[in-house]
Amino acid sequence: MNNPQVSSAHYAFKAYMTEWRWASVWRQIDLSLNYRPQNVMEVGSGPGVYKWVLAKEGIPVTTVDIAEDLHPDVVGSVLDLPFEDKCFDLSCAFQVLEHLPYASFIPAIKELRRVARKAVILSLPDAAAGYPTRLSIPGKGIFDFIIPRPYFKKAHSFDGQHYWEINKKETPLKKVLADIQSAGLNCCFCQRYAANMYHRFLVIE
């Protein structure tokens, strides 16, 4: 089991829950509720906002983390989840799998898929450059999108937390998706959003 990279103080509200991170949590919840789950497993306890909101919706969330000081429901590793097959409707890992070497990425997803009846929902850091844009059309609504811009993919260096990121030189999005497909997994959704374009969401069914 890997050692925790940060202490519980890392998730202090004022320091951690920025406006753009709120937008990411909203997306986590929205994608999850689309599946009308009866129960959910979340790897990575974080600040607990996702679990708290789903509890308000009557959906129990079982948290798993290697860090005991985050007080997860279960202390354990995403690479060896202590659950029977398909015992949760959804399994989720938001900004978690980049904290493992890329060689562990597919084994982690397979383990998440093993315990999920319906789907696995992930968010991962995406280093691709772009211009986050918001367009308001009277009578139609507000639309967020990202205008891509050219950039040179940089090699990733371990920064004490992230071993890799999507669209760094060694792990472009095309490779990440190809590795998922080669493992026999179906990625049915892959998108990032202007409100927090650093977080890319993937859904695997």
- Note the pTM of the prediction, 2 decimals: 0.88
CA–CA distance, 151 with 38 (Å, rounded to integer) = 43
- Residue 22's pLDDT is 86
What is the model's pLDDT at position 93? 98
Please spell the DSSP secondary structure of 70-107, one letter per residue.
G--SEE-BTTB--S-TT-EEEEEEES-GGGS-GGGHHH
What amino acid occupies position 90? L
- What is the residue-level pLDDT of the chain in tens, covering all 205 positions? 567 665 556 555 555 657 778 889 999 999 999 999 999 999 998 888 999 999 999 999 999 999 898 899 999 999 999 999 999 999 999 999 999 999 999 999 999 999 999 999 999 999 999 999 988 999 998 888 899 888 888 999 998 999 999 999 999 999 999 999 999 999 999 999 999 999 999 999 9
> In CATH, what class is 8-204?
alpha beta
Tell me, what's the pLDDT at 30? 96
Q: List the structure tokens of 138.
A: 């009277």
Burial group, residue 52, by CB count within 10 angstroms (0-12, 13-18, 19+): exposed
Cα–Cα distance between 9 and 188 in angstroms, integer? 35
